Chain A
Amino acid sequence: SQQGEEDPQALSIQEGENATMNCSYKTSINNLQWYRQNSGRGLVHLILIRSNEREKHSGRLRVTLDTSKKSSSLLITASRAADTASYFCATEEEYGNKLVFGAGTILRVKS
């Protein structure tokens, strides 16, 4: 079963714009992770945020976590055509010791 649900399902923006993707989940978690998948490839880890953290940055990526609302957002600033990919959130449930992935957001950055 899927724990995380991403929103929107698809997003199309112009190069240079910011892209925001959201993830909601249902149970208590230890951490939440974001992954990117380019077409025909495996998933690549982007960033991890722990349940006691509220915000984290990595390069052009900014992730927030609101455990009271059970939601997270991934912001990609100054997007590039190379950011075109599917983005997945994954949660490690508090008592699960495994990752559960959402359905993903398809991001298209037009040059």
Chain B
Amino acid sequence: DAGVIQSPRHEVTEMGQEVTLRCKPISGHNSLFWYRQTMMRGLELLIYFNNNVPIDDSGMPEDRFSAKMPNASFSTLKIQPSEPRDSAVYFCASSLVGGGIDEQFFGPGTRLTVL
């Protein structure tokens, strides 16, 4: 298996532009997580899906952020409009969740820079 795949790996955009980050989880996993990592705030959970349904989006910073999971093999995180403070590394992770949260497999991340 190729692991969790994220694209793009790097994104540089200007303030006000729309940004779309993409994630392909590991086949067979039923849960998908979006995280944001910055020096100041560390690793923050933004949203997670179970069986393609958003379960907890309490970490989504504001209405400019939205996430979708149209099927078991694809998810997007969209920021519209983007702001410089959104600059961070965004990770997608997937897991096979049964009775609880076990090991999460992380993608390589997307480094976002908003100018």
Contacts and interface: CB of A to CB of B under 8 A. Distances in A.
Contact of B45 (A43, A88, A100, A104): A100
B75 to A, nearest CB: 15
Contacts of B4: 42
B106 A98 contact: no
A58 B61 CA distance: 37
Interface of A: 2, 30-31, 33, 35, 41-45, 48, 88, 92, 97-104
Interface residues of B, number: 22
Interface stretch (B11-19, B78-86, B95-103): B95-103
B100 A43 contact: no
18 contacts: A2-B42, A31-B102, A41-B109, A42-B107, A42-B108, A43-B91, A43-B104, A43-B106, A45-B103, A45-B104, A48-B103, A88-B43, A92-B100, A97-B55, A97-B100, A99-B33, A101-B42, A101-B43
A33 B103 contact: yes
A44 B109 CA distance: 12
B101 A31 contact: yes
Contact of A42 (B48, B97, B106): B106
Contacts of B93: 42-43
Given A45-B105, A102-B42, 8 more contacts: A31-B102, A33-B104, A42-B106, A42-B108, A43-B93, A92-B100, A97-B56, A99-B101
A99 B102 CA distance: 9
A77 to B, nearest CB: 22
Nearest to A33: B103
Given A31-B100, A98-B48, A98-B101, A42 B42 contact: no
